[in-house]
Structure 1
Amino acid sequence: MAATVATGLSFRTTEENLRNAFKNFGSLVEVNLVMDRIANRPRGFAFLRYATEDESKKAIEGMHGKVCNGTNVVDIH
């Protein structure tokens, strides 16, 4: 399995938003939207895990610099 990190996410982003935005690149095994426990909202980044490294690379190439959830630009690593 290969991990991808998405940063620059909106505080309104949900796990469902991420799954919908990234599902076309392969089999998503896990989506971990990191939350601020005090503010009870996303911290602006997430970890996504794909079944293969090739799928992870496709997500990086396909989503880097793109708008996700309508308002924000995604940086992918």
Structure 2
Amino acid sequence: MSYDDIIGSIGVGIILLAYFLNIFSFIPKEGKFYFVLNIIGASIACYASTLIHYIPFIILEGTWGVVSLFGLIKTFKK
């Protein structure tokens, strides 16, 4: 497994962990921890996508991270 694969797998794994924890109600979908996991996972996966120069996933993961950041900001305004 190459460095790119390892980094990408970690990022995607964190996103999937957040999804799993949310679906099985271990964490709330509007909770700060959910958004933080998504921001970290998406950022790492976006970085891995830049390493392999794969533009569609750079856009996908970058957007995922930004939307999660806005969600986190929204929780602080409540």
Please say which structure displays the higher CA radius of gyration. Answer: 2
Report which of the two has the higher share of strand: 1
**Same topology, TM > 0.5:** no
Normalised TM-score (structure 2)? 0.26
Normalised TM-score (structure 1)? 0.26
